[in-house]
Amino acid sequence: MRPRVAVLTIIALLLATGASMANPGGEGDADRDYTCGGSCHGDPALSSPSDGTVTVSVNPLAFSGTATAVHVTASGMSLSGNRLLGVFLLGSANGNDDHPEDHGWNILQDPNGGTRNYVEVVVPPSGSVTLTWVMLAPVQPGIQTLLTEIHHGSSPNSNNWAYSALTRGYVVDVQPVPENLPGFAFDWSPETRVTGDDSPTVIRTRNTTSVSVQWMLEDEWVPHNAEVTGEDDEWHAMLPATIGDIRIQYQVTTSNGDFSIVQPWLTVATEPAAFDGEIWGARIQALAFGLLIIAFLLSLQARLSPWEGRQDPDHTEEVEATESPPEEPPGLEPADDYWSRMVPSEENPGWLWDPVEEEWVADPNNPPEGGE
């Protein structure tokens, strides 16, 4: 019976580990090549085609060095328990040098507020999610191709497949930028602000004489005008602070009298306040806690253990009380009458019979043999 239970337990444990595969918790936003350059999702023995639908919306015409938005919508795919979806924006699908920046693009902002080409998002219950990358087009004019790929799991996932899907290439014709076209500076990217920070957002531009900024909360429909100050292609926009999970989007319009260009919507990238711990503080705190624990437990061990010199509790009074002769019945004098009433017995040498208590008592003058 027991061996069967043990075998069944081991089988159950092995099956439980089988339910965990690849990196179901994700690997975080990063700069990655197609299928991470060869991952579980790219291995034909471990992967399976996704059942989702991915659509890409991008302007087929872009001017070199100007901002353009790429919208990726993924829907209808099976998802693992944590509903995590990984989405790539790629310039090719070779397994190396696939990052859009390897093809001349410059990511101004990814859907999570960073500048990565691979992001992970939690898909809402609707099962559909739209992600937007804002990029500066390559400086060199020419035909460019953009692809997207998704990675996800499934629940249940009895075969432990890692699911993936790659879209077709979307062609973008990058044309030479018209002279004097106002836009973002090539080396500018949106700042990341700490939660609660309402300091002005710096925007650097080129060929621009005036800037206007509109902002709105993520679920709002009507934008608000932001106060903008600055000159010489460096501008300061007053945007409200972000708190908690609230996301603020803003749109910059760059003008110079000849052109007025409405740039794609950007998101105020917010990160939690910097962690104020440091490694030596952690080490000292850990060691201090460890030593205090040792001191406490060792003293507890010493308290509980029998050690030399320990003063045993004095129970003399209790012992004497239990060993003292029984109380005399009323009317008898204690000392004299107690022993005088004893009746010796020849059959039981060393013992005296107490007729009052009706019990045998050891004779103090003639102790019984064996000490009993």
- Name the segment binding another protein (CB under 8 A); options: 139-147, 179-187, 292-300, 329-337: 292-300
- Name the segment binding another protein (CB under 8 A); options: 108-116, 176-184, 252-260, 304-312: 304-312
Binding mask 17-46 toward another protein (x if CB under 8 A, else -) reads ---x--xxxxxx------------------
Contacts of 23 (CB under 8 A, 6+ apart): 40
Give the dihedral of Cα atoms 58, 149, 66, 206; nearest 10 deg: 140
The binder of another protein chosen from 76, 95, 290, 368 (CB under 8 A)? 290
Told to check if 280 binds another protein by CB under 8 A, we report: yes
Told to check if 180 binds another protein by CB under 8 A, we report: no
Told to check if 178 binds another protein by CB under 8 A, we report: no
Q: Cα–Cα distance between 41 and 118 in angstroms, integer?
A: 14
Told to check if 309 binds another protein by CB under 8 A, we report: yes
Which residues, in sequence order, are bridge partners of residue 112? none
Q: Cα–Cα distance between 60 and 191 in angstroms, integer?
A: 28
CB neighbour burial string for 277-306, b if at least 16 within 10 angstroms, e if fewer: eeeeeeeeeeeeeeeeeeeeeeeeeeeeee
Binding mask 124-153 toward another protein (x if CB under 8 A, else -) reads ------------------------------
The binder of another protein chosen from 5, 15, 279, 343 (CB under 8 A)? 279
Told to check if 306 binds another protein by CB under 8 A, we report: yes
Told to check if 305 binds another protein by CB under 8 A, we report: yes
The binder of another protein chosen from 6, 8, 139, 282 (CB under 8 A)? 282
What phi, psi does 214 have (nearest 5°)? -115, 145
What's the closest the beta carbon of residue 298 comes to another protein, in angstroms? 5
- Name the segment binding another protein (CB under 8 A); options: 16-24, 43-51, 207-215, 227-235: 16-24
- Name the segment binding another protein (CB under 8 A); options: 7-15, 217-225, 279-287, 329-337: 279-287
Told to check if 307 binds another protein by CB under 8 A, we report: yes
- Residue 106 belongs to what H/E stretch? strand 106-109
Told to check if 291 binds another protein by CB under 8 A, we report: yes
Give the nearer residue to another protein in terms of CB position, either 286 or 356: 286
**The residue to which tokens 């009298």 are assigned:** 257
Contacts of 75 (CB under 8 A, 6+ apart): 52, 53, 127, 128, 129
Greatest extent of the chain over all pairs of C-alpha atoms, in Å: 140
The binder of another protein chosen from 142, 196, 281, 344 (CB under 8 A)? 281
User: Of 196, 164, 203, whose CA–CA distance to 67 is shortest?
Assistant: 203
CB atoms inside a 10 Å sphere around CB 200: 16
- Name the segment binding another protein (CB under 8 A); options: 177-185, 232-240, 293-301, 358-366: 293-301
Give the number of residues in contact with another protein, rule: CB under 8 A: 44
Are the beta carbons of 97 and 32 closer than 8 angstroms? Answer: no
Q: Cα–Cα distance between 130 and 183 in angstroms, integer?
A: 25
The binder of another protein chosen from 11, 13, 300, 356 (CB under 8 A)? 300
Give the nearer residue to another protein in terms of CB position, either 168 or 283: 283
- Residue 301 belongs to what H/E stretch? helix 279-304
- Name the segment binding another protein (CB under 8 A); options: 61-69, 154-162, 258-266, 308-316: 308-316
What phi, psi does 212 have (nearest 5°)? -125, 145
Told to check if 2 binds another protein by CB under 8 A, we report: no
What phi, psi does 103 have (nearest 5°)? -115, 15
Told to check if 186 binds another protein by CB under 8 A, we report: no
Residues that bind another protein (CB under 8 A): 20, 23-28, 274-310
